[in-house]
A and B are shown apart, each in its own frame.
Chain A
Amino acid sequence: MKEKGPVMDKEGVERTISRIAHEIVEKNKGTDNLVIIGIRTRGVFLAERIVKKIKQIEKAVLPIGVLDITLYRDDLSTIASQPVVHKTEIPFDITNKVVVLVDDVLYTGRTIRAALDELIDFGRPKAIQLAVLVDRGHRELPIRADYAGKNVPTSQKEIVEVRLEEYDKKTEVIIIGK
């Protein structure tokens, strides 16, 4: 596994999160009816950072939820190691809300497909928008991000790794060659 250098450093990640937060507020003309839901694991920390940024911009505290999509994956019988199931925590009603779903990397789109299925089991949101830090392409499903921090063209032989202080003790985005 060869590290091919950083795509984003700590400052780059912070700037990108700040831009995504501004775009969310702009697109939705404020924060009314907005809720933020992060996909475990790193999506949750990104969601928290976005909520913090929106609080600075708009002085509004948005409800935040956590989605664990393990039980909605379409590949339980084909995956190498059994995914550990963690809790989904959405302590508010999402019906008629605009849900901003947050994840670190958008790749095949299968994680987002699972997340959409799970979200809809919780209620009927008015709209679901998708925010990702990195869009690396290679979609297998017709899914696109409403807010993409950075488009990173990659080969399928590469891995895009998002590292966040809260989980990895370091904030950066790097590409690793397989």
Chain B
Amino acid sequence: MSVDLVPLDGCVPLRTRWQAGEPWIDWCHLGTARFGEPFFEETIGAQLRKPANLLFQPRTPLAVAEAWLVRDPPVPPTGFVFHMSRCGSTLMSQMLAASPRHVAISEAIPIDTVLRPDLNPADLDDETRIRLLRAVVGGLGQRRVGDEERLFIKFDCWHVLDLALIRRAFPTVPWLFLYREPIEVLVSQLKRRGVQTVPGMMPPQVFGIDFAAAVAMPPTDYCAQVLAQMCRAALVQCQGGEGLLVNYAELPEALWTKVPAHFAVDWTPGERAAMAEVLKVDSKSPSFAFVPDAEEKQRLAPEPARLAAARWLEPVYRELEALRFGVPAPSAFASLA
């Protein structure tokens, strides 16, 4: 299959998969539709209601996708957003999506299929994974309308565990990690579970936790450990001094100040106004008005959640906060006081 034989114009990666030991990319035609919905899969799902998009999904080996991207260079990534879940990342990606010259991708399935260990051969080498990731990100950054200038990618929360590899793939792209007061995240997860907090939905191996151990512990503890693993991975990477730490409490102000500064961009007055509009609605359900809930989450926290948050999450949260403020980290014993 040569690059001339696959018209990929207007298509975006839908998933990566393995066929006879070779990596392939499946594509979905998006035309000039924008990634305006809160999540990648909502944008794609709407396109898949068209029968042609179900029936005719281009499929290319990795090398063909790479050749095509060389021929039609995409928008390079402007900034990456990592997060611990339930901490304002969708608000951030929706604000970034508000500008017509921005492409803001939120939790793209094909990025997940590249990074997830359970969807790939156990012996997949980093070089191939990096090639796949670059091809997928390139496909997502394709100039489908023509006026796209910036590409922001908000990853799934568990991808922060792959941060070292992602930085190898994109060494010059600035990135940030968004996090939030532990008990507020934990209460949100217990109220409505994300797949990553349920061992049967996402393999615990993703978080380096043994399956038997995962199902043996109380669900609240597993959830807290998963969140802690993600924060710990971000902390380790941030200690190199390259990443930006953003606390949920700094939203939305951070979007006017430190975030654009870190990504080396600025917003026009029109873009800023469009972003401010996003603040009025619930990011994940834009048809509902946004209602602040931090206080309620604190108030409603059940005792087991408080204990789990204190044991698993508080220490790493304090270390993140210390790093954000540039002060020495509290000693490990402080959390036991």
B and A form one assembly: no
Which residues from chain B sit less than 8 Å from chain A, CB to CB? none
